[in-house]
Structure 1
Amino acid sequence: MLKYEFKIMFSKHMNRILLAVLLLLAFVFSFLAIWSVNYVDANGNTHNGFGSTRQLNECKAKYEGTLTSEVIKDVIAKDRKVTRKYENAVPDRVYAKGAQEYGDIKDLCVSILCYDKDFDEAELDRLDMNGAERIYDIRDRNIGREIKEYGNTHAKARFLKKQFSKIATPFEYSPADSWKKMGLYATTYALSVLMIISFFAAGIFSQEFDLQADAIFFSTKLGRSKGTKTKIVAGLIMATVIYWSAMLLLSLISFGVMGVSGAHSPIQMEYSYCMYSYTFVQRYLVILLSGYVGSILAAVVAMLVSARFHSAVLALCFPFVLFIVSPFIGRVLPFHDFFNVTPDQLLNVYNCIRLPLLYQFGGVVVMQIPLIIVVYTMITMIIIPFIHKVFNRWQAS
């Protein structure tokens, strides 16, 4: 019966077209990520595309290792010398041998200095050299301010202190441009995968009614029991196979070309005040896992609506509202705390990870990302039995 469900599912012309589109999008997003990285050679020529990320990583590898205060002071001194000489018109050849090599470290320093301000490189010019040596002290002081802002209870403040204590300083640096780019593109691609999975799932329970074969299905010996269970299992397997195959293809193409340098660098190199003690590879895996939970949730919601109303179009509307419309609604309504834990946040980990959002239940404090992953995994498991019950209730009536 499972084989039969898959045969029907993948024999539909539209479903095959959508799989082809998904395959095409994997290449499109991969190449967009690859071409978004620029490298300037010693002659001042700019390159992007194949090889540019690896060349850029080789260039930045000069500073790979522990970012001690001495290293940071040296970088700031070099950058200040170039800025004073060329102001805002730094030649490409000079940039290639200077700011391009230490750009990540410079950005880290600026982000530390701009804790409660917009990113402004001028802040670095205002910093004296003694301040350059104390850059980690400045960060620690601002972390104290962050704990006061977001730790509005004793338990939350204690939790934040513990979280930040897990992040070792000085940071271990390795150029991680491929991971930075892929965090964004994997998030965008995962949303496309989710909607295509929802389309597949929306037709699983409505197809008998579309073909007017529902009477035959329910009159068979195992239609109401094994037949219904098989449809649910087929939907879950379909969502799992499509999601992980698509994300694996995207990852293999992108990282195969760009490389995996910086996988074990802390994400604080990108978000200096992030409370999550993740490396870049760990953040990427969390993005993939969260996207998978979202895809499974979208699939079971689509199957539930399809089983209840026997309409694939209506079933597809629910995941669309939950994951695409909901973020826009959340931006205009004054219920930010609520919209920080809605299902669309499963596809927004790349941005969620920047803020130290905490939730307290009694004496237990949890972070936003683990909370939404666990909660929506549980909700998915709760919905599954209801699909079976709702589908069979129609037969009983």
Structure 2
Amino acid sequence: MMMKYELKKFFHKKINKIILIVMVSLAIIISYLAVGSMRYRDAEGKLYTGITVGRRLAADRNKWKGKLTVEKIKEVVENRKILEQIYPEDIPDAEYGKTVQSYDDILSFIIYVITPDSGYDQNVLYRLSDEELENFYSTYEENIQKMVQSYGKSSKQQEFLKRKYEEIEMPLDYAAKDSWDTMAMYAQTYGIILAVVIGFLAAGIFADEFRTKAEAVFFSTKYGRSKATRNKLLTGIVMTTVVYWTGMGILSIVSFGVMGTSGFLTPYQIDQPYSIYSMTYGEYYFLILLCGYIASLFSAAITMLVTVKMHSANLAICIPFFLYCMMPFIGRAVPVFETFFNIMPSVFMNIIEYAKVPIIFQIGPIVVRQIPFVMSIYGILAIILLPLVYKNFSKYGIQKF
């Protein structure tokens, strides 16, 4: 009953209602932007945008759906070589829409495999011999071994990286994945906003008693220091879960409902061949969502703790903004502290970049990847902070002698 009262009080608060309406509206707006960001050219070279583009682009690319065999790779490269000879300056839009558009992400995969240590250089395609194309996956495996040697600073780290790279199944199984690739960026952006907003909302749960000067009445009740305090804490957890997953649910359902879900099982390595995260694009998207949820839980927990310690939400509401918006910029400006920033909660807001790089940590004999390590740290910290919130709020006003 008391829990129901706390939830009702939270969701009936005018400022909270306004914020929640804005967040739902923002989810729909971001979905619109995601859908509108996709581009498709037809066989006549005409450029299209809009709600049909995602599915039309997927249908075009899915001509190559299936195992990305050496034969397919050779066919793609040979076709591109022929077009380069015919159109040495620039490929016309009509030709791009007719042929190149369907396989240009496969071309990118080939280039990244062949040149792991250099920038994107399309000219490498035109220097590939038939023998090199025939040995494409052997070259891929050889380059993986070089990555193991380069990033593994100890035998344990090298063994760990080798095991992770062995999880990549070759040849890769291809399907158009543009909707998932697009949504990764927009979901991460929306996740930053949600984490900051959830911190603001969570701070108000405990700040209300101090703001209205009603703390004396609250703590004088029978269950003020026990059940009522626990219910406030549970309200913060429930609010975080409901607000986060509702927002992300709306964003995902609207966006994928329009763009389609082709590529859910496409390996992430199609885009990042040397990533140590062997996962599909569906798993990659869920990883971004899960990291955002942990960031939101941590945001709620730390703002509630600071609020009950300071008896005010003024400082607390600034913390999520600093952690998730300011810290990434500070990390880039001060690269000397790279290791420190690589385990900060700001990592959650840049999964797209960190999933590309084989960052690992070794603690004694244990080697872990960066993203799971950071997820564990702040997931555990969020849980640890909750009892501290309860203890500090329930003991408010009690004199120590």
Both proteins in one fold, TM over 0.5: yes
Corresponding residue of 2:377: 375
Shift of 1:325: 1.4
The AA in structure 1 aligned to 2:252 is S
Task: Measure the CA separation in 2 of the matches of 1:215 and 1:283.
Answer: 49
Is the aligned partner of 1:358 residue 2:374? no
Task: Measure the CA separation in 2 of the matches of 1:35 and 1:194.
Answer: 25
Corresponding residue of 1:342: 344
Corresponding residue of 2:273: 272
Bigger mean CA offset, 83-92 vs 56-65: 83-92
Corresponding residue of 2:205: 204
The AA in structure 2 aligned to 1:154 is S
Task: Measure the CA separation in 2 of the matches of 1:351 and 1:88.
Answer: 33
The AA in structure 2 aligned to 1:361 is I
Task: Measure the CA separation in 2 of the matches of 1:101 and 1:328.
Answer: 37
Q: How does 1:1-397 map to 2 (within 5 A)?
A: 1-333=2-334, 334-397=336-399
Bigger mean CA offset, 122-131 vs 76-85: 122-131
Shift of 1:244: 0.6
Task: List per-residue Cα deviations over 1:191-238 (Å, max 9, x = no partner).
Answer: 111111111101111101111111101111111111111110000000
Shift of 1:41: 0.9
Shift of 1:42: 1.7
For the 8 Å contact 1:79–1:98, the answer to whether it is kept is no
SS at match of 1:72: helix
Task: List per-residue Cα deviations over 1:174-198 (Å, max 9, x = no partner).
Answer: 0100010011111001111111111
Task: List per-residue Cα deviations over 1:111-146 (Å, max 9, x = no partner).
Answer: 112211111212222222322222222222221121
For the 8 Å contact 1:190–1:291, the answer to whether it is kept is yes
Task: Measure the CA separation in 1 of the matches of 2:177 and 2:254.
Answer: 17
Shift of 1:310: 1.6
Q: TM-score, normalised by structure 2?
A: 0.97
Task: Measure the CA separation in 2 of the matches of 1:20 and 1:70.
Answer: 52
Task: Measure the CA separation in 1 of the matches of 2:147 and 2:389.
Answer: 44
For the 8 Å contact 1:31–1:254, the answer to whether it is kept is yes
Shift of 1:377: 1.1
Shift of 1:392: 2.7
Shift of 1:326: 1.2
Unmatched 5+ stretches in structure 1: none
SS at match of 1:205: helix
Shift of 1:271: 0.5
SS at match of 1:98: helix
SS at match of 2:274: coil
Shift of 1:309: 0.7
Task: List per-residue Cα deviations over 1:230-266 (Å, max 9, x = no partner).
Answer: 1100000000000011111100001000000010010
Q: TM-score, normalised by structure 1?
A: 0.98
Bigger mean CA offset, 121-130 vs 38-47: 121-130
Task: Measure the CA separation in 1 of the matches of 2:348 and 2:46.
Answer: 40
- Structure 1 vs Structure 2 CA RMSD: 1.1
Task: Measure the CA separation in 1 of the matches of 2:34 and 2:122.
Answer: 25
Task: Measure the CA separation in 2 of the matches of 1:31 and 1:135.
Answer: 39
Task: Measure the CA separation in 1 of the matches of 2:122 and 2:103.
Answer: 14
For the 8 Å contact 2:44–2:98, the answer to whether it is kept is no
For the 8 Å contact 1:358–1:367, the answer to whether it is kept is yes
Shift of 1:366: 1.1
Task: Measure the CA separation in 1 of the matches of 2:258 and 2:396.
Answer: 52
SS at match of 2:226: helix
The AA in structure 2 aligned to 1:394 is Y
For the 8 Å contact 2:60–2:102, the answer to whether it is kept is yes
For the 8 Å contact 2:35–2:258, the answer to whether it is kept is yes
Task: Measure the CA separation in 1 of the matches of 2:379 and 2:143.
Answer: 35
Task: Measure the CA separation in 1 of the matches of 2:278 and 2:245.
Answer: 25
For the 8 Å contact 1:186–1:247, the answer to whether it is kept is yes
Shift of 1:81: 0.5
Q: Structure 1 vs Structure 2: percent identity of aligned residues? A: 39
Task: Measure the CA separation in 2 of the matches of 1:50 and 1:392.
Answer: 53
Task: List per-residue Cα deviations over 1:317-371 (Å, max 9, x = no partner).
Answer: 1112121111111112211111111011122222211011111122111111111
Shift of 1:305: 0.6
